[in-house]
Every structure is written in C-alpha cells, then in structure tokens.
Amino acid sequence: MKRVIIQGSSNSHGNTNHIAKLIQEEIKCDFIDLKNYNVGHFDYEFKNRQDDFLPLIKEISDYDLMLFLTPVYWYAMSGIMKTFFDRISDCLKIEKDTGRKFRGKYMASVSCGSEKKATEGFFIPFNLSAQYLGMKYIGDIHTWIEKDKPDKEVTHIVQSFIQESIKPLRDA
Ligand SMILES: Cc1cc2nc3c(=O)[nH]c(=O)nc-3n(C[C@H](O)[C@H](O)[C@H](O)COP(=O)(O)O)c2cc1C
C-alpha cells in the first residue's frame, strides 16, 4: 500500500511537522509539503491551470492512503490546506480522469493545535470530501503541542491510531 502524508502548514518545520515525523517513525510513508508548491485559489475559469496543482494532484492520486496533516488555525484547517481542497474542484471539471482515481482510496486526517481540546466539527470537511470523492474515510485524530515537541499523551494517540486504523489496511 502506497501511503503519503500531505502536510499543509505555514511552517514546514513546525509543530505539524513534528507529528508527521512521529508518523514516519511508525510507518513507511512518503511526504508532500504543500508549502513547497505554488497552488493558487480556485478559479471558475481555471486561469491558474499552469500552476503546480495539476501535476501535484496527479502524483497524489497514485497513492492508496492519503494522510492530511494540518495545524489548527482559527478553529479550522490551514489556509494552505483549504486552498488545496478547493482546487480538487479542478478534478471535477478539467481533470476528470484524475478525479476518478480517488475512488476507493483511503483518507485520514490529523490536526495539530496548541490546545488539547479538539475543535468541534473540525474533521467534517475532510470526512465529507472523502465521501464526495468516493474515498474511504478511515478516521482522524487531534494532536497538540504545548512546548516544542509531542508529549507522551500525543505520542500515544498517534501510535494507537496507526496501530488500530492504518496498519490493518496494509493488505487491503
Ligand atoms: C494563525 C493561527 C491561528 C491559530 N489558531 C488556533 C486555534 O484556533 N486553536 C488552537 O488550538 N491553536 C491555534 N493556533 C496554534 C497552532 O494551531 C499551533 O501552534 C500548531 O501546533 C501550529 O502548528 P504549525 O507549527 O505547523 O503551524 C493558531 C496559530 C496560528 C499561527
């Protein structure tokens, strides 16, 4: 099973990246940092079809499991991540073959905030987007970093999620 972490933080080497590294210590997983790509806002006339989005989404569509990692910014996913999801709309119009490749694939999402308390409804857009794309949503976890790295509780949450929800998919 080909897996990829898709990180959408304004800080490539910040807290969300600590969680990405924690996941990569547990399972083999490629890594895409959305911050390294030039992805413009959704445009009804597809004027930005020459930016990095279309090659990027084609690359991502080859993976069996997509793990979306986003910081919590103002109780929601980061702007970088939201812009990326908005652009998936391109796949419904000008890149339909790629859009169809998402069907049957797996999605999971992970948030990283400064507060332990998860934001109510945070993962609804991920879950519903997976459903819309015909993907299987395998779940989500909220993580947080209070100081400079994940504490024992967060590490346990991440490891349990991998053990219970991701590793069993290996032969799916
Ligand atoms: C613009 C902005 C908004 C934030 N809003 C929230 C929030 O609503 N809830 C929360 O728990 N933390 C919030 N934080 C803190 C970040 O979620 C937290 O520090 C996170 O771990 C940062 O991850 P990063 O280093 O990958 O950006 C916010 C931080 C920023 C920069």
pLDDT digits (tens, 9 = 90+) for 126-167: 999 999 999 999 999 999 999 889 999 999 999 999 999 999
The structure tokens listed for 170 are: 């290996």
CATH number at residue 99: 3.40.50.360
Pocket test for ligand 1, best of 5, 73, 119 (most atoms within 8 A of CB): 73
Q: Three-class SS of residue 115?
A: coil
Q: Say if ligand 1 is within 6 A of residue 12 CB.
A: no
State how many domains the chain has. Answer: 1
Site to substitute for ligand 1 among 13, 21, 23, 72, most atoms within 8 A of C-beta: 72
The pLDDT tens digits of the residues spanning 67-116 come to 999 999 999 999 999 999 999 999 999 989 999 999 999 999 999 999 99
Domain of 59 in residue numbering reads as 3-171
Q: At what angle do helices 152-161 and 15-26 cross, to 10 degrees?
A: 50
Q: Are 151 and 19 in contact (CB under 8 A)?
A: no
DSSP designation for 128: H
120 lines ligand 1 (CB under 6 A): no
Per-residue model confidence (pLDDT) at position 148: 87
pLDDT of residue 172 exceeding 70, the answer is no
